[in-house]
Homo-oligomer: A and B are copies of this chain.
Amino acid sequence: MPDFDLTIRNGTVVTAADTARCDVGVQNGRIVAISESLAPGRRDLDATGRLVMPGGIDSHCHIEQRSSMGIMCADDYYSGTVSAAFGGNTTVLSFAAQHRGDSLLEVVEDYSARAESKAVIDYGFHMIVSDATDEVVNVQLPQIIRRGMTSFKVYMTYDMLKLDDYQILDVLNVADRERALVMVHAENHDVIRWIAKRLIERGHGAPKFHAVAHDPLAESEATHRAIQLSRILDVPILIVHVSGLEAVNAIRAAQAHGAPVLAETCPQYLFLTAADIDKPGLEGAKWCCSPPPRDLASQEAVWNGLANGTFQVFSSDHAPYRFDESGKLPLGDKTTFKNMANGMPGLEVRLPLLFSEGVGKGRIGLNQFVALAATNAARIYGMYPRKGTLAVGSDADVAIWNPEAEVTIRAENMHDNSGYSPYEGTVVKGWPETIVSRGRVVVANGGLCVERGTGTYLARGTPEPVAFQGPGTAAMRAFKALIN
């Protein structure tokens, strides 16, 4: 019989599969009992009328990261993880960004140092590989993978980040061998660059032209291309932040034939459109991200994709920049969208928005919400079953939601440093009130309850889609034998 450090009592416990009235008992930071009626612990949280769910995992966010243009995010690992926690999350996976010339190991050490002393919840890193030299890909990358960074991201666009298809094949081949997962930012660099250059030459530099340059066809083309590269080697990939209807279709078509293609989308593609960028002056810069929000038909396609399983991951792509010279409006030139930092905040509102509009409006079920909030990301990124669920043996990472709370989103109430919210004034129903990380109460009664630096680094294991890759067809095995 456990001697509980903490119990969560009388709530409705929700996982990706189940919904049950019961108590949860915690010992040494782990769940040890899920039962009808537990003996009191050293501390007891009453969850009567509340939903007791796994703490969210925001598996795609940019924190304390310097962009390739040299602009530093508004959030460090303190403000970032605090904001995440207030938004119902207990884990973040953020990026450790290699700039060209960097050694991956130095990058990791650098980011580890940034996070270690500040994070209030647990965190892991996806490496961004931007300099795919033979040494980086074949020597450093395997080392990094073995240190628990079992996923990494490649870009098909941005001058300073972009890999070409040859390099992506190199990376995919290493991922296949080392059992890691490749995330892809899929936009056609040349298309964006070509349109943008012409727009700017002709004086069309306002923020709204950012969405013109990032044509939906640039996204769907690159998405299709990334999928074909993955099919050549039968290696899983995950297309991040999918925004447009044709990109959704390309992904779903590949999945239909058994191609190992996963996909992620974000709140901005469910709740915003390109029309939001079309604001007077530079105001629209606040809604500039890449890919940009699209149109209503794409919104519908993305919702359908969430509901029917085309998307496994729902993340914030939190990329916080202040609407001033430090971020959205850099010093040199305020007249063109090319110089404005890309991205918007989202760590804190990702889950409330999805809960309110997804579960509340009947578009997805409550268990599906948990899968998208936490469980799928835990599995896909190799943290399962430690993270992402409420099961015996799992970390006691819990978000206790009040499903009836009505909250108006206001930047002034957010805990990140971007200073604005793209969803200002939106009313949502349902809010995470109490957050527990490894048995520690992190957020309660609207306040933070932990010190900076109490979050820990997560060395991750083999991503599930990679672990589940069967032997493949005989033809594929023969092909791999030829080239390896």
Identify which of B191, B195, B482 contacts A202 (C-beta below 8 A). Answer: B482
Is the CB–CB distance between A20 and B392 below 8 Å? yes
Contact, CB under 8 Å: A304 / B217: no
Interface size of A in residues (CB-CB distance below 8 Å): 84
Q: Decide: B307 and A308 in contact? CB cutoff 8 A.
A: no
Cα–Cα distance between A113 and B473 once the two chains are bound (Å) = 51
Q: For the complex, what is the distance from the CA of A63 to the CA of B347, rounded to whole Å?
A: 53
Alpha-carbon gap, A213 to B328, bound state (A)? 45
Residues of chain A touching chain B, judged by Cβ–Cβ distance below 8 Å, are: 1-2, 13, 15-22, 25, 32-37, 39, 164-166, 168-170, 188-191, 193-195, 198-199, 202, 204, 209, 212, 215, 217-218, 220-221, 224-225, 228-229, 231-232, 249, 252, 255-258, 300, 303-304, 307-310, 361-363, 365, 367, 371, 375, 385, 389, 391-394, 464, 468-471, 479, 482-484
A469 contacts across to B, CB distance below 8 A = 362
A1-B39, A17-B389 in contact; A166/B195 too (CB < 8 A)? no
Question: Which A-B residue pairs are the 8 nearest by beta carbons?
Answer: A165-B190, A17-B17, A362-B470, A166-B190, A16-B17, A22-B392, A33-B35, A18-B391
30 cross-chain CB contacts under 8 A:
A1-B1, A15-B17, A16-B18, A17-B18, A17-B391, A18-B389, A18-B391, A20-B393, A21-B392, A22-B392, A22-B393, A25-B35, A33-B33, A34-B35, A166-B194, A169-B191, A170-B194, A191-B228, A191-B232, A195-B232, A195-B483, A198-B482, A198-B484, A217-B232, A218-B232, A224-B224, A225-B225, A256-B308, A258-B300, A365-B468
Residue among B166, B199, B249 making CB contact with A483, cutoff 8 Å: B199
Which residues of the other chain, B, contact A191 by a CB distance below 8 angstroms? 165, 169, 228-229, 232
Residues on the B chain within 8 Å of A169, using CB: 190-191, 194
Q: Is the CB of A33 within 8 A of B36?
A: yes
Instruction: Return chain B residues, CB-CB under 8 Å to A166.
Output: 190, 193-194
Residues of B within 8 A of A17 (CB): 15-18, 367, 371, 375, 389, 391
Which residues of chain B are near A363, meaning CB under 8 Å?
Answer: 470
Within the complex, which residue of B199, B385, B389, B392 is in contact with A34, where a contact is CB–CB below 8 Å? B392
- Is A221 a contact partner of B217 (Cβ separation < 8 A)? no
Residues of B within 8 Å of A20, CB to CB, are 385, 391-394
Question: Given A2-B35, A166-B190, A258-B307, is A393 in contact with B483 using a C-beta cutoff of 8 Å?
Answer: no
A17-B17, A32-B36, A258-B300 given. 7 additional CB < 8 A pairs? A22-B393, A34-B35, A168-B190, A188-B225, A215-B232, A255-B308, A258-B307
Are A217 and B212 CB-contacts (below 8 A) given A166-B193, A309-B308, A393-B22?
A: no
List chain B residues, Cβ under 8 A from A221: 224-225, 228-229
Of B193, B204, B304, B385, the contact of A256 (CB 8 Å cutoff): B304
CB distance from A395 to the nearest CB of B (A): 12
Please name all residues of chain B whose beta carbon is closer than 8 Å to the beta carbon of A249 when the two chains form the complex.
Answer: 256
Chain B residues near A258: list those with CB within 8 A.
300, 303-304, 307-308
Contact A464 B36 (CB under 8 A): no
Q: What residues on B are CB-neighbors of A195 within 8 Å? A: 232, 483
Complex Cα distance, B484 from A470, in Å, reads 46
Separation of A309 and B37 alpha carbons in the complex (Å): 36
Shortest CB–CB separation between residue A198 and chain B, in angstroms? 4
Q: How far is the CB of A11 from chain B (nearest CB, A)?
A: 12
Cβ-defined contact, A19 with B385, below 8 A:
yes
Residue of B nearest to A33 (CB): B35
Instruction: Closest B residue to A471 by CB, please name it.
Output: B362
- Chain B residues, Cβ within 8 Å of A168: 190
Q: Which residues of B contact A365 (CB under 8 A)?
A: 464, 468
> Please, how many angstroms separate the alpha-carbon atoms of A32 and B23 in the complex?
10
A456 to chain B, nearest CB (A): 21
Residues of B within 8 A of A375 (CB): 17
Assembly CA distance A255 to B249 (angstroms): 12
In the complex, A19→B483 CA distance in Å? 37
Docked CA distance A362–B467 (Å): 9
CB distance A231 to B217 under 8 Å? yes
**Also in contact, A2 and B483, with CB within 8 A (given A191-B229, A304-B257, A385-B20):** no
CA distance in complex: A170, B361 (Å):
28
In the assembled complex, the Cα of A189 lies from the Cα of B479 at a distance in Å of 19
Interface centre among A257, A307, A392 (most CB of B within 10 A): A392
Cα separation A158 to B257 with both chains bound (whole Å) = 31
